[in-house]
Chain A
Amino acid sequence: MSQAKSASIMDTRILIPAAGDAFKKLNPRTLARNPVMFVVATVSVLTTVLFLRDLAAGNGNLGFSFQINLWLWFTVLFANFAEAVAEGRGKAQADSLRKARTETQAKLLSGSDRTQYKMVAGTSLKVGDVVLVEPGDIIPSDGEVIEGVASVNEAAITGESAPVIRESGGDRSAVTGGTQVLSDWIRVRITAAAGSTFLDRMISLVEGAERQKTPNEIALNILLAGMTLIFVLATATIPSFAIYAGGSISIIVLVALFVTLIPTTIGALLSAIGIAGMDRLVRFNVLAMSGRAVEAAGDVDTLLLDKTGTITLGNRQATSFRPVRGVSEQDLADAAQLASLADETPEGRSIVVLAKEKYAIRGRDMASLKATFVPFTAQTRMSGVDLEGSQIRKGAVDAVLAYVGSGTMPVSGNAAIATQANSDTVRELQAIADEIAKAGGTPLAVARDGKLLGVVQLKDIVKGGIRERFAELRRMGIRTVMITGDNPMTAAAIAAEAGVDDFLAQATPENKLTLIREEQAKGKLVAMCGDGTNDAPALAQADVGVAMNTGTVAAREAGNMVDLDSDPTKLIEIVEIGKQLLMTRGALTTFSIANDIAKYFAIIPAMFLTFYPQLGVLNIMGLATPQSAILSAIIFNALIIIALIPLSLKGVKYRAIGAGALLSRNLLVYGVGGILVPFIGIKAIDMIITAIGLA
């Protein structure tokens, strides 16, 4: 949804409908979801009724109470508006997604023959149905490719126009409803019924329609409701105190005091903050399946990161040729180059490049050499060439040693001596291999005609800047663990180079799961990302499991977030977004409560001035009249909601400077700032309304 990234906060396409929605949200059932604003609306109804009664009777200070009533309703409307703006941004995205969900026809297959299908409506498909999708067809629903390979345009979901390959088997078998097949054909087994597809879930998520309150939000709501009750007690008891003192307080003034004291600022913005948090993830091309997952992301203690693609560049590169005694580097390079000429893997190509750069060995034509390429297989774990009478092999050290020792070499006259010499070479080769592994490289042994020549050193290239990212994570208090299939020596060297805190070498799905469970038993929250079906159990076990969009259906089902860009480094940003969400709530709560001090100083002297004029000393802001003081306080209280909408949507910036420093910074800005700002704001409003004669 790259198109949505441009949607700014001040976009009129969002603001105008939101203003309308603010009124629609006055529906009591909608308001009841937010205890603080519900209370404000209730007392506003009360004062409006009183105002109408006074209007009919023609008594009382009608101009003043009309203005108070107006601003009370504005307070509620501004809160609704904040929520509507936050939802509006999601709605724009949902609309573009809906276009992708247009009615499609599906080719429902009845048998194994792919010519026998009947056209049915996409919505009528059931889980388990098998459909054929051909070039130009829209994939009718989520499913798994069971036959064929196709290039698919997933722009509708990811915003990325470059097509991706989807094929049966392996880790790229999942297809998403609403995406389009560009070339070739695939048979797809449907895995989601109409209405519960990935696209449907995405739409309801970005719209915030099914937004559930998250655990921290519930706890915060309890605190806010409690504060509201406390201020009910504080204000409802004032009239009898006033009677004792021989005075009286009008209900409208009491309501004004009450509404300014209760935490309306955070109450008004709370749901907008939550929606905006999800929205930030969506614009980041990450879909969280629940708000709970976003919050959990902020709490993550341990981050499991796959080495390949996350910490290192996907491809290892040859960096040197290390011959055994009796073989020259030139010979080794020559043999390695020959063995790699037809090898299209990045490793193979990097060997050819290195041979050319270092030893000026030019590329040769395979056909003129009458060479046949022996491709890599999972069984032999070697590749190479067969020339006339000569075999060159390169591969994993143990595989090549097995090959050399297996007797495929010509047997020499004196087997014993040959074996003796051979075992020396084996030891030497292994020493070189170990040395390379310890340094974080991958050794690739090369042999010709059963004779070991040496080792090609392949090196993992750690991504630029990743070390700094890990240092930042450490300052955030997050431990990073690198997951790799490498042997422990290699893993340790790469871990040290990349600056991760720990590593899991020779990782299997089982020990990955065990690692997560161990961390969780220590009370830690674990995040990881994965794409393969064998990652699914770990993804499900992790507190935050980010599945790659390119991954399998199983992986996508197991995770609680899906990264549409399939970029595993995003975990780091996801954690930051989670923290930002919590911080924004905390900061605005602090600000809201700290505001009360100034409001007391505005309203208390104004309220009691008729019977205790001495309390005028407390009017430290020098507000013009009791009416202007009360009005200024309630106007400030309403306007601050509007003023803080941008902050609640953008979020308070997270800085990895350690919790203590972060807290003192935020306490200074939102706590001390929250005490001071209303003094200035209320005074300014008082000057304006006095100047234009409103009070």
Chain B
Amino acid sequence: MTLNGWLQILLYCGIIIALVKPLGGYMTRIFSGERTFLSPVLIPIERGLYAMAGTSEREEQHWASYAVSLLMFNLFGVVVLYAIMRLQAGMPYNPAGMGAVPPELSFNTAVSFVSNTNWQNYGGESTMSYLTQMMGLNVQNFLSAATGMAIAVGLIRAFSRASGPGARKTIGNFWVDMTRAILYILLPICIVLTLVYVYLGVPQTLGPYVEATTLEGAKQTIALGPVASQLAIKMLGTNGGGFFNANSAHPFENPDAISNLIQMLSIFAIGAAFTNVFGRMVGNQRQGWAILASMGILFIAGVGITYWAEAAGNPLMHAFGLEGGNMEGKEARFGITLSSLFAVITTAASCGAVNAMHGSFTALGGLIPLINMQLGEVIVGGVGAGFYGIILFIIVAVFVAGLMVGRTPEYLGKKIEAKEMKMAVLAILCLPLAMLVFTAIATVLPSAVASIGTAGPHGFSEILYAYTSAAANNGSAFGGLTGNTPWYNVTLGIGMLMGRFLVIIPALAIAGSLVAKKTVPASAGTFPTDGPLFVGLLVGTILIVGGLTFMPALALGPVVEHLVMIAGQTF
């Protein structure tokens, strides 16, 4: 570890913190339906869209109807995306002449992009036509991000609406929230970012791949495409699905340190700002800062461990006289610091884009990305998804803490009772269910074990990482595992659906239940949820409730891999 490295990490954190208030303020205005500088241009478009959809911003939805709209919309998305992939051979914008994507892979990919996971069992430049990338995958990049944002906003309204007699029991309008998220937030920022990426050297073309002759005289095909436009939303919407197989390690998808910084900032920007939107909407920004502080503590701890482990390197290599940190699987232009930082950001935020191969990290360096995902992607987390994820942990934390101060637990004046607890527990339960049960089956299924790239504990970690990444809707992978088999395509797809929708539905149910509750005014008997005590409590709850479940699996994966490595044993 170097001082320079830490300065880069702190610079990153500093910029994110600086972005939180302005972006949070802007998003609050958007989701509250207030005017912004973009309104003159966008309001006619927005109204036109509502008219076409037959809805209106004044029409609010009950949580169940909000959830049904969301589910139908996402189901439609899966079907359309599946169809595009199956039919791409006969459709335009296919200069490389890609054939139809096989059924299981199409299912996996469709689910993957709709659920904001972007797990890729394919290489983009060798599987997908430009049309599929642009009209299929990239469209879902926007829609899945906006879906997450809409849910988070619905949940925030449940807290901010002080319900009394005759008050609304609705949490907003799904179509309106979706439209605003895309039109006012995602699209404008992405247009600017696309231009910046193009300026930095990222390709943006519909032209065919380029044939080049290398110095040795060999023929090389250089893949191109509309990369910059996909890159912008891939990071901003925490999607993470690379245009190219090598994702953000590819020079065309992440040319230099500046593009790397912009990508890292894009991943956290909206997720971090959501804590501020929450604070503003409930009328006390400190509430948002407290949540962000909890996330920040877990994030910095993760960065510290991964950076330390990667910088320390492998003692077995040191024995051969190869000094220094672990550079396997890392790009020289990013180095150890920025690769470690990127890996922790992308797994903390449910993004899944990578600029280095996580599977090549040291055992402890790779442990942190795994834990980040197993905690439920609540360290900033996916756009919107991270926010509603952490609310589930907050509900558990304030429940136990509330009892300990001798009152029926409440958060921001809304009482946490049996129904909220039931839904929070259901949502928290579905992650270990998808992650551990599928891993348990795969580790004893010979055909599934055949997919691993390395024997021993690292092979186990590859399988565990795959299902963890799928259920956490992250999308990054421990390379080495051959995922494009019917078994993995189908089970990872199911894992992604469980991790996405079995959390969304309970989260919306909680919103529906809370919005109808009266807000109890705070008194000296209510413990403050905007101070360091709450931050500590939340961090503890996330680690213990979210983390304890995975101790045995982690012990048999990265932990034992590390201990075995120290002991000098290799596989």
Question: Which positions 504-542 of chain B face chain A at CB distance < 8 Å?
Answer: 518-521, 523-528, 531, 533, 536-537, 540
Question: Which positions 371-412 of chain B face chain A at CB distance < 8 Å?
Answer: 396, 399-409
| Interface flag for B96 (CB, 8 Å) | no
Asked whether, in the complex, the Cβ of B404 is within 8 Å of the Cβ of A670, the reply is yes
Binds A, one of B103-111, B179-187, B556-564: B556-564
Asked whether, in the complex, the Cβ of B403 is within 8 Å of the Cβ of A234, the reply is no
Asked whether, in the complex, the Cβ of B444 is within 8 Å of the Cβ of A299, the reply is no
Asked whether, in the complex, the Cβ of A226 is within 8 Å of the Cβ of B405, the reply is no
Tell me the complex Cα distance, A240–B464, Å. Answer: 12
Tell me the complex Cα distance, A666–B569, Å. Answer: 46
Q: Nearest chain-B residue to A298 (Cβ)?
A: B406
Tell me the complex Cα distance, A608–B569, Å. Answer: 17
Q: B375 to nearest A CB, angstroms?
A: 13
Which residues of A lie under 8 Å from residue B563 when comparing CB positions?
Answer: 612, 614-615, 617
Tell me the complex Cα distance, A524–B551, Å. Answer: 43
Which residues of A lie under 8 Å from residue B323 when comparing CB positions?
Answer: none
Which secondary structure dominates chain A's binding surface?
helix
Q: B420 to nearest A CB, angstroms?
A: 8
| Interface flag for A46 (CB, 8 Å) | no
Q: Mark A202-238, 1 if CB is under 8 A from B, else 0.
A: 0000000000000110111011011101110111111
| Interface flag for B70 (CB, 8 Å) | no
Question: Which positions 25-61 of chain A face chain B at CB distance < 8 Å?
Answer: none
Total residues of chain B contacting the partner, CB 8 A:
70
Q: B165 to nearest A CB, angstroms?
A: 7
| Interface flag for B23 (CB, 8 Å) | no
Number of A-B contacts (CB under 8 A): 216
Which residues of B lie under 8 Å from residue A231 when comparing CB positions?
Answer: 549
Tell me the complex Cα distance, A663–B567, Å. Answer: 44
Which residues of A lie under 8 Å from residue B520 when comparing CB positions?
Answer: 301, 523-524
Binds B, one of A173-181, A282-290, A534-542, A574-582: A574-582
Which residues of A lie under 8 Å from residue B555 when comparing CB positions?
Answer: 604, 608, 615, 618
Asked whether, in the complex, the Cβ of A222 is within 8 Å of the Cβ of B418, the reply is yes
Which residues of A lie under 8 Å from residue B282 when comparing CB positions?
Answer: none
| Interface flag for A164 (CB, 8 Å) | no
Q: Nearest chain-A residue to B567 (Cβ)?
A: A614
Q: Mark A660-677, 1 if CB is under 8 A from B, else 0.
A: 101110110011000000
Q: Nearest chain-A residue to B463 (Cβ)?
A: A244
Which residues of A lie under 8 Å from residue B444 when comparing CB positions?
Answer: 240, 243-244
Asked whether, in the complex, the Cβ of A222 is within 8 Å of the Cβ of B460, the reply is no
Asked whether, in the complex, the Cβ of A586 is within 8 Å of the Cβ of B549, the reply is no
Which residues of A lie under 8 Å from residue B443 when comparing CB positions?
Answer: 240-241, 243-244
Asked whether, in the complex, the Cβ of A523 is within 8 Å of the Cβ of B521, the reply is yes
Question: Which positions 612-641 of chain A face chain B at CB distance < 8 Å?
Answer: 612, 614-615, 617-618
| Interface flag for B43 (CB, 8 Å) | no
| Interface flag for A590 (CB, 8 Å) | yes
Asked whether, in the complex, the Cβ of B407 is within 8 Å of the Cβ of A298, the reply is yes
Asked whether, in the complex, the Cβ of B521 is within 8 Å of the Cβ of A241, the reply is no
Question: Which positions 332-389 of chain A face chain B at CB distance < 8 Å?
Answer: none
Tell me the complex Cα distance, A111–B461, Å. Answer: 90
Q: Nearest chain-A residue to B544 (Cβ)?
A: A593
Tell me the complex Cα distance, A597–B536, Å. Answer: 17
| Interface flag for B417 (CB, 8 Å) | yes
Asked whether, in the complex, the Cβ of B432 is within 8 Å of the Cβ of A612, the reply is no
Binds A, one of B193-201, B241-249, B298-306, B433-441: B433-441
Which residues of A lie under 8 Å from residue B429 when comparing CB positions?
Answer: 226, 229-230, 233
Which residues of A lie under 8 Å from residue B527 when comparing CB positions?
Answer: 659-660, 662-663
Contacting residue for A241 out of B403, B418, B553, CB 8 A: B553
Asked whether, in the complex, the Cβ of A234 is within 8 Å of the Cβ of B544, the reply is no
Which residues of B lie under 8 Å from residue A589 when comparing CB positions?
Answer: 400, 403
Which residues of A lie under 8 Å from residue B312 when comparing CB positions?
Answer: none
| Interface flag for B71 (CB, 8 Å) | no
Tell me the complex Cα distance, A477–B406, Å. Answer: 11
| Interface flag for A585 (CB, 8 Å) | yes
Q: Nearest chain-B residue to A241 (Cβ)?
A: B556
Asked whether, in the complex, the Cβ of A654 is within 8 Å of the Cβ of B413, the reply is no
Total residues of chain A contacting the partner, CB 8 A:
75
Which residues of B lie under 8 Å from residue A612 when comparing CB positions?
Answer: 457, 556, 560, 563-564
Q: B512 to nearest A CB, angstroms?
A: 17
Asked whether, in the complex, the Cβ of B406 is within 8 Å of the Cβ of A301, the reply is no
Contacting residue for B545 out of A241, A295, A593, CB 8 A: A593
Tell me the complex Cα distance, A223–B528, Å. Answer: 23
Asked whether, in the complex, the Cβ of A659 is within 8 Å of the Cβ of B528, the reply is yes
Q: Nearest chain-B residue to A234 (Cβ)?
A: B549
Tell me the complex Cα distance, A230–B544, Å. Answer: 12
Which residues of A lie under 8 Å from residue B551 when comparing CB positions?
Answer: 234, 600, 604
Asked whether, in the complex, the Cβ of B521 is within 8 Å of the Cβ of A659, the reply is no
Asked whether, in the complex, the Cβ of B521 is within 8 Å of the Cβ of A223, the reply is no
| Interface flag for A325 (CB, 8 Å) | no
| Interface flag for A548 (CB, 8 Å) | no
Q: Nearest chain-A residue to B556 (Cβ)?
A: A241
Question: Which positions 282-337 of chain A face chain B at CB distance < 8 Å?
Answer: 295, 298-299, 301
Question: Which positions 236-261 of chain B face chain A at CB distance < 8 Å?
Answer: none
Given contacts A219-B418, A578-B406, contact A663 B533 (CB under 8 A): yes
Q: Nearest chain-A residue to B438 (Cβ)?
A: A237
Asked whether, in the complex, the Cβ of A582 is within 8 Å of the Cβ of B544, the reply is no
Asked whether, in the complex, the Cβ of A234 is within 8 Å of the Cβ of B404, the reply is no
Which residues of B lie under 8 Å from residue A659 when comparing CB positions?
Answer: 405, 407, 524-528
Asked whether, in the complex, the Cβ of A522 is within 8 Å of the Cβ of B556, the reply is no
| Interface flag for B333 (CB, 8 Å) | no
Which residues of A lie under 8 Å from residue B540 when comparing CB positions?
Answer: 671
Given contacts A243-B444, A523-B520, contact A596 B548 (CB under 8 A): yes
Tell me the complex Cα distance, A478–B526, Å. Answer: 10
Given contacts A233-B437, A600-B548, contact A476 B400 (CB under 8 A): no
Which residues of B lie under 8 Å from residue A663 when comparing CB positions?
Answer: 401, 404-405, 527, 533, 537
Tell me the complex Cα distance, A594–B407, Å. Answer: 21
Tell me the complex Cα distance, A607–B556, Å. Answer: 11
Q: A496 to nearest B CB, angstroms?
A: 20
Asked whether, in the complex, the Cβ of A590 is within 8 Å of the Cβ of B526, the reply is no
| Interface flag for A587 (CB, 8 Å) | yes
Which residues of B lie under 8 Å from residue A237 when comparing CB positions?
Answer: 436-437, 439-440, 552-553
Tell me the complex Cα distance, A574–B551, Å. Answer: 43
Tell me the complex Cα distance, A212–B405, Å. Answer: 23
| Interface flag for A402 (CB, 8 Å) | no
Given contacts A521-B165, A662-B406, A671-B540, contact A479 B441 (CB under 8 A): no
Asked whether, in the complex, the Cβ of B407 is within 8 Å of the Cβ of A230, the reply is no
Which residues of B lie under 8 Å from residue A608 when comparing CB positions?
Answer: 555-556, 560
Which residues of B lie under 8 Å from residue A666 when comparing CB positions?
Answer: 404-405
Asked whether, in the complex, the Cβ of B408 is within 8 Å of the Cβ of A215, the reply is yes
Given contacts A237-B440, A474-B524, A523-B520, contact A667 B404 (CB under 8 A): yes
Which residues of A lie under 8 Å from residue B137 when comparing CB positions?
Answer: none
Asked whether, in the complex, the Cβ of A597 is within 8 Å of the Cβ of B544, the reply is yes
Tell me the complex Cα distance, A662–B526, Å. Answer: 10
Contacting residue for A660 out of B402, B531, B550, CB 8 A: B531
Question: Apart from A219-B399, A298-B406, A612-B457, what 9 extra A-B contacts exist at CB < 8 Å?
Answer: A216-B403, A222-B422, A474-B524, A477-B526, A524-B520, A586-B402, A586-B403, A590-B400, A615-B563
Contact surface of A with B, Cβ cutoff 8 Å: 215-216, 218-220, 222-223, 225-227, 229-231, 233-245, 261, 295, 298-299, 301, 474-479, 521-524, 578-580, 582-583, 585-587, 589-590, 593-594, 596-597, 600, 604, 607-608, 612, 614-615, 617-618, 654, 658-660, 662-664, 666-667, 670-671
11 A-B pairs with CB atoms under 8 Å apart are A216-B408, A234-B432, A237-B439, A244-B443, A298-B407, A523-B519, A579-B407, A608-B556, A618-B559, A659-B527, A666-B405
List 7 tightest A-B contacts by C-beta distance, closest first: A477-B525, A586-B403, A579-B406, A226-B425, A477-B523, A586-B404, A477-B524
Contact surface of B with A, Cβ cutoff 8 Å: 164-165, 396, 399-409, 413, 416-418, 420-422, 425-426, 428-429, 432-433, 436-437, 439-441, 443-444, 449, 457, 459-460, 518-521, 523-528, 531, 533, 536-537, 540, 544-545, 548-553, 555-556, 559-560, 563-564, 566-567, 569
